Structure 1
């Protein structure tokens, strides 16, 4: 009798039971990352809303925009807050990829405590759509506080940390290690190599290779390369005519 009751109860749970060898469902809403190959490997098919996404990389400022910008374009309207960004965002480049640079709010904060305070306050602001925080010296208990704020106010939260933090514990529901991939590794020179270190699901043993630039920006950069070649070959004399022919 006990066995039959247990079996009936387990059967009643049905799809509500998550098996560790299967990709789990997102606990809440998600926003598509804009990379089809990545979305296929993320619970819920995108970045989780109301949870920390931790982006680890060897050097800050190299890959986060190329990874996150497609999703930021799709996010709810409102400011995108940058806390402790290592470089001033390049407005024309963002506009070329379809993102309104006027949505950015850049908060300069050098001290770790100031960055944490600014990040938490931004998460509590109703108008804010997403928070990107560069927190190289953050501790696990501090991340848990940000996790609670992101969950309470249903915000997209991306935390950038150095690659050395891979060995540290983290409450983030999703942890990624991102690096640029050279052309010699069998992919375009501007591709991103992405390791999913932590997700709700089985480990992903193989790295993902994601195109780093949208087609429009790639075309603009290719045209710029052609222009430089024309100027170099002709000394600038008939550069415009030859560029028009090459395009």
Structure 2
């Protein structure tokens, strides 16, 4: 039997990168998965490939109306939500002096506000299951400093996780955050700073970037009943980077 058999999951930013990896892992472990993204072409193709237990929904994660629609469509297709993976996120390489207010607010909306909206939206559905798990993807930059905007919002995700964990515990809903280091995703390999990132990876204690599937294994653990006594905690997966 799969580790997520009978579970219904929503994964944001699920069309590519880590989100795609999480979706594949969840389907393999028996879950029914709704993956959301703005990339309709990639998301639709992935859901079709994954089969009848997968569904794609176009979503702007910073829209409260879109969140309500996603939860409604998920329940109509598969039933109440057991798992939410708040995976969607962006980064804009800029200094404080050069970043515009519009750029800053875009990062906040997608990386931070979306997590609040997602947890709020799934709560009534998860209450029906009395056994929910929310996994918020933060970053090592939710623990140590990094780029403006990205760091701020990833620290916020860490704090919201703890606040929600305390509030949701009496519903039987667990909330944890994952803090990845350098992961080999399209956002890294197709970005402007790919060569600098490859050079930086040489200084990671394990001497390499992580593969998306390695993060997915941790997401799977927190989504499953195997982590039934873990809530309000940070789980770091960075190859030893923050241990230095």
Q: TM-score range by the shorter chain?
A: 0.3 to 0.5
TM normalised by structure 2 equals 0.42
> For the pair shown, which has the larger CA radius of gyration, 1 or 2?
1
TM normalised by structure 1 equals 0.41
- Larger fraction in strand: 1
- Larger fraction in helix: 2
